[in-house]
Chains A and B, each alone.
Chain A
Amino acid sequence: MVAFLRRHVAFLAFAVVMMGLPFFTSNTYYLSVLAFTATRLMTSLGLNLLMGQAGQISLGHAAFVGMGAYGSAILTTRFGMNPWLAMVVAAVVAAVVAGIIGIPTTKLKGHYLAMATLGFGEIVLILLIQVKSITKGTDGITGIPSLAIGNLVFTQYNPRAMHLLLWGVALLMLRMSLNLADSRVGRALKGLHRAEVAATSLGVDATFHKVQAFMISAVFASIAGSFTAHYVQYISPGSFTLTFSVLLVTGVVIGGLGSIWGAVWGTLVMMILPEYLKQYEDATNLVFGILVIVIMIFLPGGLVSLGSALGKLRTRVGGRDRRAADTSDPGSLEGNARRPGGAA
């Protein structure tokens, strides 16, 4: 009950702060950074479900963001479809593709899974560039209409409304993720992640749940892509590269793999840190690359585990109980098949 309350308090506090921000600043630049943070958070939450909860990896998630963005752009500019409907259609397409790709893919593990998803992402990117008759190639698609409800049009020139819309959706997805982690599905995914054979023997359908997680994460990514397309009103394939997929994974990892709040903090760090590194623009990704390595080595539980890691360190330094400090490492998700000296 206490834990339940605490989670509610955390969510409510976060929701109030994020929804309240536009009423404290009217700086359009800050608000645009926050708008991109909201769409990134949508993708991160889906990816966290796949990686953190289900223990899978996707190095091709940019493809699903791209499908959402291009789906919305093509359906609205070419066929004059209502933007909201286009968003739903694109998300359904992304889900179907994720389902079709997911069945053979999620049977693969570890490096093979990473490579298969990466290959998928690259194929989608090449198609976005090459099928010029539909995607306009590297020129990209311009003139994507804005989202609107009645007379309320969500554009960059109406940043408060845009902010409330994007963060409203992002918070809804956060709420769904928190609920999902606590549900039967969430427990099944965690079971598959920690001990697949045990979970399967208890009646958890491994393929079904993994594909399901893959599809949900694809839908989150696709919706994020659609919102981005309508917000920026221009898209080009350069936004959906492998580097973007890697940065998406990085956000989830920096925050804390397996923790939903980790995905939130990781995303905030990923989106706000570059603003401070602007003067060294190119160095941003260098910082992220090194940050990921350092976190994996010294803080495998990510930023959210910083508190408990410091606590452990204190215990260790105090020398009260060395064994208590030696709890399992949340980073070692699936054991490497061959651990030298592992028999000791």
Chain B
Amino acid sequence: MTFEQLLQYVASGLTNGSIYALTALGFTLIYNATDIINFAQGEFVMLGGLSAVSLHEAGAPLPVAFAGAVLTVTVVGILFELLAIRPLLRSGVLTQIIVTVGASLAFRTGALMIWGRDARPLPSFSGETPVRLLGATFNRQTIWVFGLTLVIVVALQLFYRRTLTGKAVRACSINPMAARLMGVSYSRVVLLSFAVSAAISAAGGVMITPASFMSYASGSLIGLKGFAAAILGGLGNPLGAVIGGLLLGIIEALSVGLLPGGSSGYKDGVAFLILVLVLFARPQGLMGGRIVDKA
């Protein structure tokens, strides 16, 4: 493999990896607020992509379709929290898993009924002409995806570190009881976490659609890989989620390049292999997550 080829694989890995990173971040926000793993996270990505496709087909310019899709999915996330999660915040883990799994089935089937089976495209954000850099050719969308992901990550970091609301959310994830005693409304923190989590996942969905299309069934796989990324980085650690996502994307892309015959069929297996291995060997992940209930 030449250096240019390596660069190309890394670039394509970063495109998918950015989406995994955003999805992993979405998992992390909800997990930190509620201790719930939202098995429907990937469906937010899918709903984001497909909503943007519909809005764009209805004549909305891309930026408007982008914003509209993110807004739509944010509302979906809020409704999901209010209707399905709130009554179960104090239920057992198994109940919570089953409810989010049931929700993902409902979202996926709902999307199938609205958008049908076919994968839908969206035009690239700024044309199809590739960019040449360091001897390798890059897709323009790659730059958009990676750049916007960085912007979102930095903005979230500022929000959680610098604003009072953000600090309240972090306080809740450290010790909800103490946070409540200080006057933080726990239910609002949970609602906000679902809203932000749905929004960033939807943004990921809109960004990836021009590069790899979107169908009703695409969400689950992205969601699962996002989770694998979150576990790889250390569940509950936002920075870990981002690094885990990018790393997973790059490993996946390189596995296509390095595996004999360049078979891409096994590509999807890489994430699950990493997921299972990390869970067995080092459940706290690379960056160290929150306490893992393992023993």
CB–CB B177/A109 < 8 A: no
Any A CB within 8 A of the CB of B224: yes
Interface string of B259-274 (1 = CB under 8 A from A): 0000101101100110
Chain A residue numbers with a CB within 8 Å of B275 are 115-116, 119
Least CB distance, A220 to chain B, in whole angstroms: 20
CB–CB B294/A109 < 8 A: yes
Least CB distance, B179 to chain A, in whole angstroms: 9
Interface string of A119-163 (1 = CB under 8 A from B): 110110011011000000000000000000000000000000000
Contact A333-B176, Cβ < 8 Å, known A119-B272, A290-B102, A293-B102: no
CB–CB A340/B90 < 8 A: yes
CB–CB A334/B94 < 8 A: yes
Binds B, one of A29-37, A51-59, A172-180, A181-189: A51-59
Residue of A109, A296, A337 near B95 (CB, 8 A) is: A296
Least CB distance, B16 to chain A, in whole angstroms: 17
Chain A residue numbers with a CB within 8 Å of B265 are 126, 129-130
Which residue, A111, A114, A123, A285, has most C-beta atoms of chain B within 10 A? Answer: A111
Chain B residue numbers with a CB within 8 Å of A293 are 83-84, 99, 102-103, 106
Any A CB within 8 A of the CB of B71: no
Q: Which of A227-255 contact B (CB under 8 A)?
A: 242-243, 246-247, 249-250, 253
Chain A residue numbers with a CB within 8 Å of B92 are 331-336
Contact A112-B283, Cβ < 8 Å, known A285-B105, A289-B109, A340-B90: yes
Which residue, B98, B99, B108, has most C-beta atoms of chain A within 10 A? Answer: B98
Any B CB within 8 A of the CB of A329: yes
Chain A residue numbers with a CB within 8 Å of B227 are 115
Residue of B36, B39, B91, B107 near A332 (CB, 8 A) is: B91
Least CB distance, A257 to chain B, in whole angstroms: 7
Chain A residue numbers with a CB within 8 Å of B228 are 119
Least CB distance, B277 to chain A, in whole angstroms: 9
Q: Which of A248-276 contact B (CB under 8 A)?
A: 249-250, 253, 257
Any A CB within 8 A of the CB of B258: no
Which residue, B83, B99, B220, has most C-beta atoms of chain A within 10 A? Answer: B99
Chain A residue numbers with a CB within 8 Å of B280 are 104-105, 116
CB–CB B101/A246 < 8 A: yes
Residue of B87, B106, B266, B293 near A112 (CB, 8 A) is: B293
Residue of B84, B93, B108, B112 near A111 (CB, 8 A) is: B93
Q: DSSP class of A's interface residues: helix, strand, loop or mixed?
A: helix
Any B CB within 8 A of the CB of A202: no
Contact A329-B293, Cβ < 8 Å, known A115-B227, A249-B101, A286-B109: no
CB–CB A289/B106 < 8 A: yes
Q: How many residues on the A side are at the interface (Cβ–Cβ under 8 A)? A: 60
Any B CB within 8 A of the CB of A311: no
Residue of B99, B101, B109, B186 near A340 (CB, 8 A) is: B186
CB–CB A339/B98 < 8 A: no
Closest B residue to A337 using CB positions: B35
CB–CB B294/A112 < 8 A: yes
Least CB distance, B155 to chain A, in whole angstroms: 27
Any A CB within 8 A of the CB of B286: no
Contact A253-B109, Cβ < 8 Å, known A130-B263, A300-B91, A335-B92: no
CB–CB A108/B109 < 8 A: no
Chain A residue numbers with a CB within 8 Å of B35 are 336-338
Any B CB within 8 A of the CB of A203: no
Cα of A109 to Cα of B36 in the assembled complex, Å? 13
A-B contact sample (15 more), CB < 8 A, given A285-B105, A285-B108, A293-B99: A55-B94, A109-B93, A109-B293, A111-B97, A112-B293, A250-B98, A282-B112, A282-B113, A289-B103, A289-B108, A293-B103, A297-B84, A329-B91, A336-B36, A341-B186
Top 5 closest pairs, chain A to chain B, by CB: A289-B106, A292-B102, A110-B93, A289-B105, A332-B92
